[in-house]
């Protein structure tokens, strides 16, 4: 009888050690379905800032974003149509067409106007902030 | 008196294609009929885009046509998924029949054009057609939809249609 109680106790102990609560697992969920892997340096430990711009209802939201040099911008397509993200003046940088749910990241080195080359009236703006402007 | 060409007549018809159904005599449409009109209206613009891809060599026209084909296919896919989910079958009706009849005339008119004349005719029609479809979606299809998800899908499509119109008007300025 003592052995049986001991066995039940061990099983219960092992179960509680190997299962996390529902709340713990929910807190680890990614907010977006990201197609590309986010590089390791995006992790919070590196203290780099990632700004998220959603593409929805044929708009970049927000359409104007203020960032610092070296920050990253993550565009996430939440629309039903494909979109891309293209620098306006010289097409210095451009994403591939982004399907619904996929995303693209840019490391910001300078301010820029950008647009969707598939829907040329969709426009956005990146404003570079210096630390003194904060 | 200005001579009215076949294309001008077809364009006039396309701009007025929803006119008889947007007044006091709006037809009563079931959700099955609304779904059919929505699918037909999108398919017509895909057909126009296919004609443009066959007949035009202009980069701006070709890129615009490609976007129209892809976007309207995406809307049809959304509508198809929704009607499957709701278990309804799109049903032909007087509005969708009129759309198809008028589109046949416009397609024939477009097929008769070449070069710059085609590019202008295509983009003029895109401006007129998107204006007409926006009016129809806002003035007829959304009010006639009873199912909330069907209504929401149509409401979600309006920003895309307005963006297409603005894009078409931008391209149209190149052919004035």
Domains of chain B: 29-175 (1.20.1260.10)
Query: DSSP class of residue A28?
Result: T
> Taking CB atoms and an 8 Å cut-off, how many pairs form between chains A and B?
33
φ, ψ for residue B14 (rounded to 5)?
-70, -35
Cα–Cα distance, B99 to B40 (Å, whole number)? 8
Does any CB of chain B come closer than 8 Å to the CB of residue A40?
no
Peptide bond into A62 cis (omega under 30): yes
pLDDT in tens, B88-144: 999 999 999 999 999 999 999 999 999 999 999 999 999 999 999 999 999 999 999
End-to-end CA distance of chain A: 70
Q: Which residues of B touch A123 (CB under 8 A)?
A: none
- The whole-angstrom distance between A116's CA and the closest CA on chain B is 11
Choose, out of B45, B63, B67, B78, the residue to mutate when testing the contact with A (most A CBs < 10 Å): B67
Question: Minimal CA–CA distance to B40: which of B122, B108, B98?
Answer: B98
For residue A57, which residues of chain B lie inside 8 Å, CB to CB? 156, 159
Closest partner CB to A121 (pick from B63, B78, B163):
B163
Inform me whether the pLDDT recorded for A133 exceeds 80. Answer: no
Cβ proximity of B27 and B95 under 8 Å: yes
Residues of chain B with C-beta less than 8 angstroms from the C-beta of A119: 67, 163-164, 167
Classify residue A57 as left (phi > 0), alpha (psi -120 to 50) or beta. left
Contact B163 A118 (CB under 8 A): no
User: What is the average pLDDT value for chain A, to the nearest integer?
Assistant: 77
pLDDT tens for residues B21-45?
455 567 789 999 999 999 999 999 9
A80–B167 CB contact, under 8 Å: no
Mean of the pLDDT values across residues A6-33? Answer: 41
Between A43 and A27, name the one with better pLDDT.
Answer: A43
Tell me the C-alpha distance between B38 and A92, whole Å.
39
* A67 reaches B (C-beta below 8 A): no
A115 class by beta-carbon count within 10 Å (0-12 exposed, 13-18 middle, 19+ buried): buried
pLDDT tens profile B73-88: 999 999 999 999 999 9
Instruction: Provide the 3-class DSSP secondary structure of residue B170.
Output: helix
* Chain A residues 74-93 with CB within 8 Å of chain B: 80-82
Residue B12's pLDDT is: 43
Residues of chain B positioned with their CB less than 8 A from the CB of A82: 70, 74
- Mean pLDDT over A64-73 rounds to 96
The pLDDT of residue B176: 74
**What residue spans define the domains of chain A?**
48-134
ipTM of this complex:
0.83
**How do strand A112-115 and strand A86-87 relate by DSSP bridges?**
antiparallel
With cut-offs at 50, 70 and 90, classify the pLDDT of residue A40. very low
Residues B159-167 have a mean pLDDT of 98
Sign, CA dihedral B39-A56-B150-B27, equals negative
Does residue A94 register a pLDDT over 50?
yes
pLDDT of residue A130: 82
Q: Check if CATH label 3.40.120.10 holds for domain A48-134.
A: no
């Amino acid at each position: 009888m003592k052995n049986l109680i001991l066995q039940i106790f061990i099983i219960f102990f092992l179960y509680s050690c190997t299962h996390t609560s529902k709340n713990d697992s929910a807190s680890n969920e990614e907010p977006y379905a990201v197609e590309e892997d986010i590089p390791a340096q995006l992790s919070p430990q590196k203290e780099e800032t990632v700004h998220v711009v959603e593409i929805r209802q044929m708009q970049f939201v927000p359409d104007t974003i203020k960032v610092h040099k070296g920050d990253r911008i993550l565009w996430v397509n939440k629309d039903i149509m494909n979109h891309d993200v293209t620098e306006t003046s010289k097409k210095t940088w451009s994403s591939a067409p982004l399907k619904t749910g996929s995303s693209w990241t840019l490391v910001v080195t300078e301010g820029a106007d950008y647009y969707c080359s598939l829907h040329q009236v969709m426009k956005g703006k990146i404003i570079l902030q210096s630390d003194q402007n904060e | 008196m200005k001579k009215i060409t076949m294309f001008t007549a077809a364009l006039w018809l396309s701009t007025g294609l929803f006119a008889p159904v947007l007044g006091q005599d709006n037809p009563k449409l079931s959700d099955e009929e609304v779904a059919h009109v929505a699918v037909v209206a999108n398919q017509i613009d895909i057909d126009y885009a296919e004609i443009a891809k066959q007949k035009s060599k202009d980069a701006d026209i070709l890129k615009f046509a490609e976007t129209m084909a892809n976007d309207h296919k995406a809307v049809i896919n959304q509508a198809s998924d929704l009607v499957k989910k709701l278990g309804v079958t799109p049903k032909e009706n007087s509005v969708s029949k009129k759309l198809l009849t008028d589109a046949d005339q416009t397609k024939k008119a477009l097929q008769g054009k070449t070069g710059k004349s085609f590019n202008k005719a295509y983009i003029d029609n895109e401006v007129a057609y998107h204006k007409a479809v926006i009016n129809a979606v806002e003035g007829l299809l959304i009010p006639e939809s009873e199912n909330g998800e069907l209504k929401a899908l149509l409401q979600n499509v309006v920003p895309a249609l307005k963006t297409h119109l603005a894009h078409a008007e931008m391209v149209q300025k190149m052919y004035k």
